[in-house]
Amino acid sequence: MTLEDPVGLVLNVRHFPPSLYCVYAICVFYYVAVFPFIAAAQLFFESKYNLSPQWANACNSLVYFMSAILSPLLGYIVDRTGRNIYWLIGSIMATILAHALLAFVFIHPIVPLVIMGIAYSILAASLWPMVAFLVPKQLLGTAYGLMQAIQNLGLAVMNIFTGLILDSYGYFLLEIFFIVSLEIALLAAAFLYIWNSIKGGVLNDSTSVRGKRLEEIQSKRVSSRSVNSTINALVSTTSDDDQTIET
Protein backbone atom coordinates (compact mmCIF):
# COMPACT_ATOMS: atom_id res chain seq x y z
CA MET A 1 0.00 0.00 0.00
CA THR A 2 1.37 3.42 -0.99
CA LEU A 3 0.20 6.99 -1.12
CA GLU A 4 -0.22 6.52 -4.89
CA ASP A 5 -2.78 3.77 -4.25
CA PRO A 6 -5.94 5.55 -3.01
CA VAL A 7 -8.10 2.47 -3.56
CA GLY A 8 -5.77 0.52 -1.29
CA LEU A 9 -6.03 3.21 1.37
CA VAL A 10 -9.82 3.04 1.36
CA LEU A 11 -9.86 -0.76 1.39
CA ASN A 12 -7.56 -0.77 4.42
CA VAL A 13 -10.31 0.83 6.50
CA ARG A 14 -11.32 -2.73 7.34
CA HIS A 15 -7.98 -3.13 9.13
CA PHE A 16 -8.61 -0.23 11.52
CA PRO A 17 -8.30 -1.40 15.15
CA PRO A 18 -11.38 -1.80 17.38
CA SER A 19 -10.08 1.03 19.56
CA LEU A 20 -10.56 3.45 16.66
CA TYR A 21 -14.22 2.48 16.37
CA CYS A 22 -14.56 3.15 20.10
CA VAL A 23 -13.30 6.65 19.38
CA TYR A 24 -15.91 6.97 16.62
CA ALA A 25 -18.68 5.81 18.98
CA ILE A 26 -17.61 8.30 21.64
CA CYS A 27 -17.56 11.05 19.03
CA VAL A 28 -21.14 10.33 17.95
CA PHE A 29 -22.78 9.73 21.32
CA TYR A 30 -21.00 12.61 23.06
CA TYR A 31 -21.71 15.28 20.48
CA VAL A 32 -25.34 14.15 20.29
CA ALA A 33 -25.68 15.47 23.84
CA VAL A 34 -24.13 18.83 22.95
CA PHE A 35 -25.10 20.05 19.48
CA PRO A 36 -28.82 19.07 19.48
CA PHE A 37 -29.09 20.28 23.08
CA ILE A 38 -27.80 23.74 22.19
CA ALA A 39 -30.07 23.82 19.14
CA ALA A 40 -33.14 23.30 21.36
CA ALA A 41 -31.97 24.96 24.57
CA GLN A 42 -33.29 28.49 24.14
CA LEU A 43 -36.94 27.57 24.68
CA PHE A 44 -35.88 25.23 27.49
CA PHE A 45 -34.20 28.11 29.34
CA GLU A 46 -37.21 30.35 28.77
CA SER A 47 -39.76 27.78 29.96
CA LYS A 48 -37.94 26.25 32.95
CA TYR A 49 -36.00 29.26 34.25
CA ASN A 50 -38.29 32.07 33.05
CA LEU A 51 -35.41 33.77 31.27
CA SER A 52 -35.98 36.47 28.70
CA PRO A 53 -35.16 35.57 25.09
CA GLN A 54 -32.04 37.74 25.30
CA TRP A 55 -30.73 35.98 28.42
CA ALA A 56 -31.70 32.58 27.01
CA ASN A 57 -29.68 33.32 23.88
CA ALA A 58 -26.74 34.48 25.99
CA CYS A 59 -26.81 31.24 28.01
CA ASN A 60 -27.17 29.25 24.82
CA SER A 61 -23.92 30.65 23.42
CA LEU A 62 -21.96 30.11 26.64
CA VAL A 63 -20.67 26.61 25.77
CA TYR A 64 -19.21 27.73 22.44
CA PHE A 65 -17.90 30.99 23.91
CA MET A 66 -16.06 29.12 26.67
CA SER A 67 -14.70 26.61 24.18
CA ALA A 68 -13.30 29.41 22.02
CA ILE A 69 -11.39 30.76 25.02
CA LEU A 70 -10.42 27.57 26.86
CA SER A 71 -9.69 25.09 24.05
CA PRO A 72 -6.12 26.28 23.32
CA LEU A 73 -5.21 26.30 27.02
CA LEU A 74 -6.80 22.93 27.79
CA GLY A 75 -5.29 21.46 24.62
CA TYR A 76 -1.86 22.59 25.81
CA ILE A 77 -2.46 20.98 29.21
CA VAL A 78 -3.52 17.68 27.61
CA ASP A 79 -0.44 17.78 25.36
CA ARG A 80 1.81 18.36 28.36
CA THR A 81 0.30 15.70 30.59
CA GLY A 82 -0.86 12.97 28.20
CA ARG A 83 -3.27 10.49 29.81
CA ASN A 84 -5.84 11.18 27.11
CA ILE A 85 -8.29 8.50 28.23
CA TYR A 86 -8.43 9.89 31.76
CA TRP A 87 -9.16 13.35 30.39
CA LEU A 88 -11.75 11.84 28.06
CA ILE A 89 -13.58 9.94 30.80
CA GLY A 90 -13.51 12.98 33.08
CA SER A 91 -15.02 15.22 30.40
CA ILE A 92 -17.84 12.75 29.68
CA MET A 93 -18.65 12.42 33.38
CA ALA A 94 -18.65 16.21 33.78
CA THR A 95 -21.08 16.55 30.87
CA ILE A 96 -23.35 13.93 32.46
CA LEU A 97 -23.28 16.03 35.63
CA ALA A 98 -24.18 19.15 33.66
CA HIS A 99 -27.20 17.48 32.04
CA ALA A 100 -28.26 15.96 35.37
CA LEU A 101 -28.25 19.43 36.94
CA LEU A 102 -30.36 20.73 34.07
CA ALA A 103 -32.81 17.83 34.35
CA PHE A 104 -33.21 17.29 38.09
CA VAL A 105 -32.11 20.46 39.90
CA PHE A 106 -33.54 23.96 39.70
CA ILE A 107 -30.22 25.79 39.54
CA HIS A 108 -29.33 28.73 37.32
CA PRO A 109 -28.32 27.32 33.90
CA ILE A 110 -25.03 29.21 33.91
CA VAL A 111 -23.60 26.67 36.39
CA PRO A 112 -24.22 23.50 34.32
CA LEU A 113 -23.35 25.34 31.11
CA VAL A 114 -19.97 26.39 32.51
CA ILE A 115 -19.33 22.75 33.44
CA MET A 116 -20.42 21.66 29.97
CA GLY A 117 -18.24 24.26 28.27
CA ILE A 118 -15.13 23.12 30.14
CA ALA A 119 -15.92 19.44 29.53
CA TYR A 120 -16.64 20.04 25.84
CA SER A 121 -13.25 21.73 25.42
CA ILE A 122 -11.39 18.95 27.23
CA LEU A 123 -13.08 16.24 25.20
CA ALA A 124 -12.10 17.82 21.89
CA ALA A 125 -8.49 18.20 23.06
CA SER A 126 -8.24 14.60 24.27
CA LEU A 127 -10.41 12.66 21.78
CA TRP A 128 -9.46 13.86 18.31
CA PRO A 129 -5.66 13.48 18.71
CA MET A 130 -6.13 9.80 19.60
CA VAL A 131 -6.68 8.95 15.95
CA ALA A 132 -3.05 9.82 15.17
CA PHE A 133 -1.89 7.20 17.69
CA LEU A 134 -4.14 4.45 16.31
CA VAL A 135 -3.54 4.45 12.55
CA PRO A 136 -0.48 4.84 10.29
CA LYS A 137 0.17 8.38 9.13
CA GLN A 138 -0.67 7.51 5.52
CA LEU A 139 -4.20 6.62 6.69
CA LEU A 140 -4.82 9.67 8.88
CA GLY A 141 -6.86 11.51 6.27
CA THR A 142 -9.04 8.46 5.71
CA ALA A 143 -9.47 7.90 9.46
CA TYR A 144 -10.41 11.51 10.18
CA GLY A 145 -12.68 11.66 7.15
CA LEU A 146 -14.51 8.53 8.29
CA MET A 147 -14.77 9.97 11.81
CA GLN A 148 -16.33 13.17 10.48
CA ALA A 149 -18.72 11.22 8.24
CA ILE A 150 -19.88 8.97 11.09
CA GLN A 151 -20.30 11.97 13.39
CA ASN A 152 -22.42 13.86 10.85
CA LEU A 153 -24.51 10.79 10.04
CA GLY A 154 -25.10 10.17 13.74
CA LEU A 155 -26.07 13.79 14.34
CA ALA A 156 -28.43 13.76 11.36
CA VAL A 157 -30.24 10.67 12.64
CA MET A 158 -30.22 11.71 16.30
CA ASN A 159 -31.57 15.17 15.50
CA ILE A 160 -34.68 13.46 14.18
CA PHE A 161 -35.04 11.51 17.43
CA THR A 162 -34.45 14.57 19.60
CA GLY A 163 -37.14 16.46 17.69
CA LEU A 164 -39.61 13.60 18.12
CA ILE A 165 -38.84 13.29 21.84
CA LEU A 166 -39.15 17.03 22.37
CA ASP A 167 -42.45 17.29 20.50
CA SER A 168 -43.98 14.21 22.14
CA TYR A 169 -42.60 14.18 25.69
CA GLY A 170 -40.97 17.51 26.47
CA TYR A 171 -37.61 18.69 27.72
CA PHE A 172 -37.30 16.41 30.75
CA LEU A 173 -37.27 13.19 28.74
CA LEU A 174 -35.02 14.90 26.20
CA GLU A 175 -32.50 15.48 28.98
CA ILE A 176 -32.83 11.81 29.97
CA PHE A 177 -32.08 10.90 26.35
CA PHE A 178 -28.94 13.06 26.43
CA ILE A 179 -27.80 11.45 29.69
CA VAL A 180 -28.31 7.95 28.25
CA SER A 181 -26.35 8.93 25.15
CA LEU A 182 -23.49 10.16 27.33
CA GLU A 183 -23.56 6.95 29.36
CA ILE A 184 -23.10 5.00 26.12
CA ALA A 185 -20.12 7.24 25.33
CA LEU A 186 -18.78 6.55 28.83
CA LEU A 187 -19.09 2.79 28.29
CA ALA A 188 -17.21 3.12 24.99
CA ALA A 189 -14.49 5.10 26.80
CA ALA A 190 -14.25 2.38 29.46
CA PHE A 191 -13.88 -0.27 26.76
CA LEU A 192 -11.23 1.90 25.09
CA TYR A 193 -9.32 2.07 28.38
CA ILE A 194 -9.49 -1.71 28.84
CA TRP A 195 -8.50 -2.43 25.23
CA ASN A 196 -5.61 0.03 25.39
CA SER A 197 -4.37 -1.58 28.62
CA ILE A 198 -4.60 -5.11 27.22
CA LYS A 199 -2.86 -4.22 23.96
CA GLY A 200 -0.23 -2.04 25.62
CA GLY A 201 -1.30 1.05 23.68
CA VAL A 202 0.00 4.57 24.20
CA LEU A 203 -3.32 6.40 24.52
CA ASN A 204 -3.17 6.71 28.30
CA ASP A 205 0.58 7.11 28.74
CA SER A 206 2.10 10.29 30.07
CA THR A 207 3.71 12.48 27.44
CA SER A 208 7.27 11.48 28.37
CA VAL A 209 6.53 7.74 28.42
CA ARG A 210 4.54 7.97 25.19
CA GLY A 211 7.39 9.79 23.45
CA LYS A 212 9.91 7.13 24.44
CA ARG A 213 7.63 4.28 23.40
CA LEU A 214 6.86 5.87 20.04
CA GLU A 215 10.59 6.37 19.43
CA GLU A 216 11.20 2.70 20.21
CA ILE A 217 8.42 1.64 17.85
CA GLN A 218 9.77 3.89 15.10
CA SER A 219 13.30 2.56 15.67
CA LYS A 220 12.07 -1.03 15.37
CA ARG A 221 10.26 -0.18 12.14
CA VAL A 222 13.38 1.42 10.68
CA SER A 223 15.49 -1.58 11.71
CA SER A 224 12.96 -3.96 10.20
CA ARG A 225 12.97 -2.01 6.93
CA SER A 226 16.78 -2.04 6.88
CA VAL A 227 16.85 -5.80 7.38
CA ASN A 228 14.26 -6.31 4.65
CA SER A 229 16.21 -4.06 2.28
CA THR A 230 19.42 -5.99 2.99
CA ILE A 231 17.69 -9.33 2.39
CA ASN A 232 16.15 -8.07 -0.84
CA ALA A 233 19.55 -6.79 -2.00
CA LEU A 234 21.19 -10.14 -1.23
CA VAL A 235 18.44 -12.04 -3.03
CA SER A 236 18.76 -9.74 -6.02
CA THR A 237 22.56 -10.14 -6.10
CA THR A 238 22.27 -13.92 -5.84
CA SER A 239 19.75 -13.97 -8.66
CA ASP A 240 22.02 -11.84 -10.86
CA ASP A 241 24.98 -14.15 -10.13
CA ASP A 242 22.92 -17.21 -11.04
CA GLN A 243 21.90 -15.63 -14.31
CA THR A 244 25.56 -14.78 -15.07
CA ILE A 245 26.65 -18.38 -14.40
CA GLU A 246 23.89 -19.75 -16.63
CA THR A 247 24.98 -17.39 -19.39
Give this prediction's pTM. 0.84
**CA dist., res. 212 & res. 214, Å (int):** 6
Is residue 213 domain-shared with residue 94, that is, in the same domain?
no
Contacts 24+ apart (CB under 8 A), 206-215: 206/81, 206/82, 206/83, 207/79, 207/80, 207/81, 207/82, 208/82, 209/82, 210/82, 210/133
Q: Are residues 198 and 221 in the same domain?
A: no
Percent of the chain at pLDDT > 70 equals: 83
Residue 139 makes CB contacts below 8 A (sequence gap 6+) with 9, 12, 16
Same domain, 140 and 240: no
Shared domain for 198 and 226, answered yes or no, is: no
pLDDT at 3: 45
- Do 168 and 88 sit in the same domain of this protein? yes
For residue 1, what pLDDT is reported?
43
123-149 pLDDT, tens per residue? 999 999 999 999 988 889 889 999 999
Please tell me whether residues 11 and 126 are part of one structural domain.
yes
47 lies in the same domain as 132: yes
Three-state DSSP at 88 gives: helix
Query: Structural domain tally of the chain?
Result: 2
Q: What is the pLDDT of residue 244?
A: 56
C-alpha closest to that of 88 among 206, 201, 203: 203
Please, what is the average pLDDT of the chain?
A: 87
Residues 134 and 64 in one domain: yes
Residue 29 domain flag: yes
Range of the domain at 240: 207-247
Residue 1 included in any domain: no
Q: What is the pLDDT of residue 2?
A: 47
Shared domain for 180 and 234, answered yes or no, is: no
Phi, psi of 206 (to 5 degrees): -70, 165
pLDDT of res. 211: 81
